[in-house]
Structure 1
Amino acid sequence: MTRAATAAMAAMAVAPSAPVAPGAPVAPGAPVAPGAPVAAEETLLLRVLSAFIREDVVGLRTRSTAVEREDGRWLRLPLPLPDGGDGGALLVPVRADGFQGEDAARLPLLVREPDGRRLTGSEAVLGALTALADPLDLPGFDAFAEECRQTLATMRLHDRTAHEVFDDLTARYGGDPADWTGPAASLAYDTLAARLDHPVYPTARGRSGLDDEQLRAYAPEFHPRFGLRWLAVPREALTLPGGPAALPASWPSPAGLGLPELAHTHLALPVHPLTLGAPLRDALREAGLEGAAVLADGPYLDAVPTLSMRTVGLVGEPELHLKLPLATATLGLRNRRTIKPVTLAHGAAGQRVVEAVIAREPRFKDAVLHADETVYAHAGHELLAVLCRRYPAGLDRAVVLPLAALLATAPGGRLVIDHLADRFHGGDPVALLDTCLTLLLDWQATLYGYGIALASHQQNVSLVLDRTPQDGRTRLRLLFKDDDSPRFHVPRLRQTLGAEADELLAPFQDPRMLGEDHRAVTDMLTTITLHLCAGSYAFGLAEHGRTASPEAVLGLVRERLAEAAERLGTAPGEPGAVLRERVLDAAELPVKAMVTAGTLLTKERSGASDVNTHYTTGPNYLRRRGRDLR
């Protein structure tokens, strides 16, 4: 018997189980209804099974056969024996999805044939699926099981602390989130967003290697304050464009950190407290700075984590955020939260690309904002770096929140978008979202016309809502950041920007960013802007009962994207025609295979050149359908 078959038998032998026929109810009561209270483990398992189906893990999508039973549809995955015989099957109950997959898990369980035993709980279900994996992939499956354990612990911690955190936010910022204004209050929206699941990655709330105490002390969902630590680094070891004069005025000197003897030879580099200890010691040794760099004794400057956790806002200077490397991972084992030095240069270059387009498209001059990311420093190591991100001035009276917070639960139990709609759009969340989509899709399609796509997902795009000083009308702007991994259609960029194109492209040292056709920019526009920043809200609002079906918002997405494509030109080969052909009218759309590339398979096994741009395919929910997409 193979190792995989042995593991399968062991997993099924210890699984909580009871005889059940696939056509009969397999859980107490009716199948889980949208919006019904569900235990954390069941919620997680539904998301994991749905992701596995979407990404065709162990053939769940392509090797399964659809079976109609009295209680609904099932996917039946045959289990061959080592000698090629029939080993029965695993069945997973599914429902029609329509967002990024045709099917999603309907109940958090598997059923084994022929004995009709059910497998419930993450350990049993993952054990059965892991047993079907190629032996070469077992380390990745084991790592994902650990991700699930960490995520489940975090979800339960979130449940236990929700009232505590909401009470704290209300005491600090007020009872109505629509009145949380200014850069400091924007961090409260990050706290709400951090308690919400990612639209695609099922274990996004987990952070590898961190326990409950560390999460409460440093994670954004708890809105903590903590002191930054500082490292005095020899000046000659630092790369610092613009020199020390470019650093913020509040930047401490070695003398101010209690190291006066290093005042003329060293510069201060902030260090996240979670990087202290072995990670920092290893980094200094690898960078050749062991003994030359000196850690200051105590903390200096208090900070509050943003949604990304490794980026923090300064308590006394909220418009300044410091992006600091962390020795942890989120959204997959291979998505480490360190900072590769080259990405700092890419981020500054991405900002310049955006500014070059805005200079040519004046209608976006006051509607699209970008944080300044041109000030950074590093010592040639991914744990010895900092980005000084400064937000535009004049946001003190504005509500500033990441797109990721719109569907988060606010204190009091309503969604954030409900509060914002009450204040800015007459209580209509769809009208608010349409205003956002109109600008977002126009801007991203305009970039597409230049041959540019930004990896500007829900975390990297913020809404800026306020009222115009002239007449008090509602004004919505978009604030972008972290554009360090764009994709370019190089011939198109040269055609649209002329001689400036090569100068703008020169800092980008990653060949994966530079393409000769529309493919990479189309894939990024689709998987990030369309799926994460538009489609997810159509389905999310329907799930929360704010619309009767996803089609209510998908129609707006389709219409706004079609309008934007029309402006790009519809003649064959023009960007608008390509956008219509490959997105609006395509039979299928690319979908991120984040679990596969991020944890389950090595790059050699998955073929992924980049864990964030490894794709499978899913249905095109923008094509009109005669049925409810749910």
Structure 2
Amino acid sequence: MDTGSTGDTGAGHGVRPETGPVEGKLVTRVLSALLREDVVGLRTRSTLAHRPDGAWLQRADGQGGFLLLPVVEDGFQCEFAARLPLLVGASKGAAPVPYETCDEILGVLRVLADPVDQDGFDAFASECRQTLATMRLHGSVRAEVAEQLTDRFGADPADWTGLTAGLAFDTLAAHLDHPVYPTARGRSGLSDEQLRAYAPEFHPRFALRWLAVPREAVTGTFPDHWPTPALLGLGELDRTHVTLPVHPLTVGAPLEKALRATGLTERAVLADRAHLEAVPTLSMRTVALSADPLLHVKLPLATATLGLRNRRTIKPGTLADGAAGQRLIQRVVAREPRFRDTILHADETMYAHAGHELLAALFRRYPAGLQDSVVVPMAALLAEAPAGRLVVDHLTDRFFGGDPLALLDAWLALLFDWQTTLFGYGIALESHQQNISLVLDRPTDGLTRLRLLLKDNDGPRINAARLRERLGEEFSGGTGERLGDDATGLLGFDDARTFAKGDQPVVDLFTTITVHLCAGAYAFGLARHGRAPLPVLLRLVRDRLAEAVERLGTRAGEPGAVLRAQVLDSPCLPVKAMVTAGTLLTKERSGAADINKHYTTGPNYLLYTGNSA
């Protein structure tokens, strides 16, 4: 990046009084994401200048003027982050123009984009407006929700034991921003009333709707004692139909369109009677059944989060992929006995669908025996608990003598041991903060025990050569068929993108999920909250990862050597470009085969030295 002078930056500008702190926070996050993803060259086509108030990036606007962005050194996935909710337009001989809202900023940047991409900027502006409204709604109900959770589960989250109480952590996490995606709280097309009735941040309860579908049109199986048509008032269909659960938000136009697409309009019947009380989990489309706390049901929704193209429907192929991923992971655990008691998995082998992404359901069964354990998704650790402290503070007080470093150390040691072991088999999981829970308890010996509980095994990346080397003959199924480079069908995966011919896609997923979201985000987050100095936290992350990498072997060609070269010692690391692939650009324009696995690059904070990232 070049350095230069910005001239008159208009540095006195701040947040407009009418903008307010909520919008200012969103604008700052949006600017930081656009900078990180180098949207319209904000990062690579800018020069850096230092002014009395701080650092500024300057980019030519193509019309003889400049765009000026106040920045601060960051280091977590980007060298800089936005310092203020502000972008300044500066033209020779004219007064600087401050842009301080998402609409204004995206309108200015839209002009610099290729004309074929400008609709994406409009879509992202709409996404920002939806998110701002949701953030304001969250602020207005936070005290009410905190009181509700306290009344139901108690004042101290460290005492919220069992899976039912664990749903309260999902509610807290839903009020927290995503570590990377700036508008994660927004859900396209949903009103405030719908969010209050069905979104996890409000901890609502509602009854599921039910669709009776001809048996021959449904693929899959159902849990024992599943509701029958007769139970739902459709006794005449008891012998010919089965019942698919439907999220109330899908009833109406989305469901009618799905039935027309599958030719089931005249053969499927929507029951008038709602049945089975449910509570939304953090993902919203997955709900927990009040009558059976161990069973969560994942249901498609006609909305999108984390990007316009990141729809919350359920493609039937992903159900098969989740089951195939689970079987593969279970095989690894069987060969690695040290994980049998420390890595827990929800069972995701039971599902049903009628051949459409809105006519599907996953029946996720959690392991028994967790009623005396605190089960907290990693996404909730830095969330604010009802009394105002962080969830992680409550957990460290009860289980780690008040030392957050001890808790971080414990989960990093287990997490990195597990994920690097999988890498040794050629496997990386999409196991981000929402898909991993810490399971904390004190068995009879009184010592703290920490385990990890994983879910959602679809979407992995697998190096077919490494997997063949470790497990190939075990997957012949007795037929003698070898695990080849294209092992998708043999292992039961539907998505051909699962398998790679080399390490790079596996390294990218390992880095962006396990390292960034499940480790780095907490080092920077705990430092931001003053729990420990950033150098101490980053050194802990590096040390625990280095120990796990060494166990893989670091001679040339060994998996540990790959992780050492491409993660521990690389000058830069892959970074998800979620806004670009999810909203700003079409797949054709971004080239993203998978919008959740589209990358740019950022600095390697594992090389952190001194006082500057």
Query: Scaled by the length of structure 2, what TM-score is found?
Result: 0.95
Hey, what does 1:193 align to over in structure 2?
173
Please report how far the alpha carbon of residue 316 of structure 1 lies from its aligned counterpart in structure 2 after TM superposition. Answer: 1.3
Counterparts of 2:362 and 2:82, CA distance in 1: 41
> In the aligned structure 2, how far is the partner of 1:400 from the partner of 1:71?
45
Q: Is the CA contact 2:69–2:86 (under 8 Å) kept in the aligned structure 1?
A: yes
1:171 and 2:151 correspond: yes
Between the aligned partners of 2:122 and 2:605, the Cα distance in structure 1 is 34
Residue deviations 1:345-379 (CA, integer Å, cap 9, x gap): 00001111110000000000000000000110000
Cα distance in 2, alignment partners of residues 473 and 122 from structure 1: 50
CA distance in 2, matches of 1:332, 1:24: 32
Q: Secondary structure at the match of 1:622?
A: helix
How far apart are residue 49 of structure 1 and its match?
A: 0.3
Match status 1:385 vs 2:370 = no
Residue 290 of structure 1 pairs with residue 265 of structure 2: yes
Regions of 4+ moved over 4 Å: 501-505
Identity %: 66
What is the rounded CA distance, in whole Å, between the counterparts of 1:24 and 1:173 in structure 2? 48
| Conserved? CA contact 1:535–1:557, under 8 Å | yes
> In 2, distance between residues paired with 1:424 and 1:626?
32
Report if the CA contact (8 A) 2:254-2:302 is conserved. yes
CA contact (8 A) 1:371 1:389 kept: yes
State how far apart, in whole Å, the 2-side matches of 1:319 and 1:157 are. Answer: 31
The C-alpha deviation readout for 1:321-349, integer Å capped at 9, x for no partner, is: 00000000000000000000000000001
Q: Quick one: which of 562, 581, 593 aligns to 1:597? A: 581
Question: 1: CA distance between counterparts of 2:51 and 2:15?
Answer: 17
Listed as ranges, the gaps of 5+ residues in structure 1 are 1-19, 30-36, 82-86
Q: Following the alignment from structure 1 to structure 2, what is the Cα–Cα distance between the partners of residues 600 and 168?
A: 38
Secondary structure of 1:426 counterpart = coil
Q: Is the CA contact 2:318–2:494 (under 8 Å) kept in the aligned structure 1?
A: no
Q: After the TM superposition, which residues 443-482 of structure 1 pair with which residues of structure 2 at under 5 Å, given as runs?
A: 443-469=418-444, 471-482=445-456
The answer on whether the counterparts of 2:27 and 2:100 sit within 8 Å (CA) in structure 1 is: no
Task: Work out the CA distance in 2 between the residues paired with 1:239 and 1:563.
Answer: 45
Partner SS, residue 303 of structure 2? coil
TM-score, normalised by the number of residues in structure 1: 0.92
- Please name the residue that 2:67 is paired with: 90
Structure 2 SS opposite 1:284: helix
Question: Counterpart of 1:139?
Answer: 119
Whether contact under 8 Å (1:551, 1:628) holds in the other structure is no
Shift of 1:40: 0.9
Say which SS state the counterpart of residue 379 (structure 1) adopts. Answer: strand
Partner in structure 2 of residue 303 of structure 1: 278
1:104 matched residue in structure 2 = 81
How far is the alpha carbon of 1:248 from its aligned partner? 2.1
Equivalent position of 2:493 in the other structure: 508
Residue 338 in 1 paired to residue 313 in 2?
yes
Q: Which residue of 2 aligns with 1:423?
A: 398
SS at the partner of 2:310? coil
Q: Does 1:555 align with 2:529?
A: no
Deviation at residue 448 of structure 1 after TM alignment: 0.2
Map 1:209-608 → 2, pairs under 5 A: 209-240=189-220, 243=221, 247-469=222-444, 471-501=445-475, 505=488, 506=490, 507-548=492-533, 550-608=534-592
Match of 1:113 in 2: 90
> What are the Cα deviations for residues 441-492 of structure 1, in whole angstroms up to 9, with x where unaligned?
10000000010000000000011000122x1110000000001111101010
Match of 1:617 in 2: 601
Distance in 1, matches of 2:188 and 2:608, equals: 41
> How far off is 1:501 after superposition?
4.2
Cα distance, 1:266–1:72 mapped onto 2, change above 3 Å: same
Q: Specify the SS of the correspondent of 1:612.
A: helix
Q: State how far apart, in whole Å, the 2-side matches of 1:467 and 1:67 are.
A: 54
Q: Distance in 2 between matches of 1:523 and 1:500?
A: 27
Residue 482 (structure 2) aligns with? none
Correspondence for 2:59: 77
Structure 1 residue 502, shift from structure 2 partner: 5.7
Residue 626 (structure 1) shift: 2.1
Quick check: 1:189–1:401 contact (8 Å CA) kept in 2?
Answer: yes
Matched-pair contact (CA < 8 Å) for 2:212–2:271: yes
Change (3 A) 1:142 1:28: closer
Amino acid at match of 1:174: G
For 2:588 and 2:101, how far apart are their aligned partners in 1? 31
Structure 2: 5+ residue stretches without partners = 1-6, 478-486
State the 1:176 CA deviation: 0.4
Q: How many residue pairs align between the two structures?
A: 591
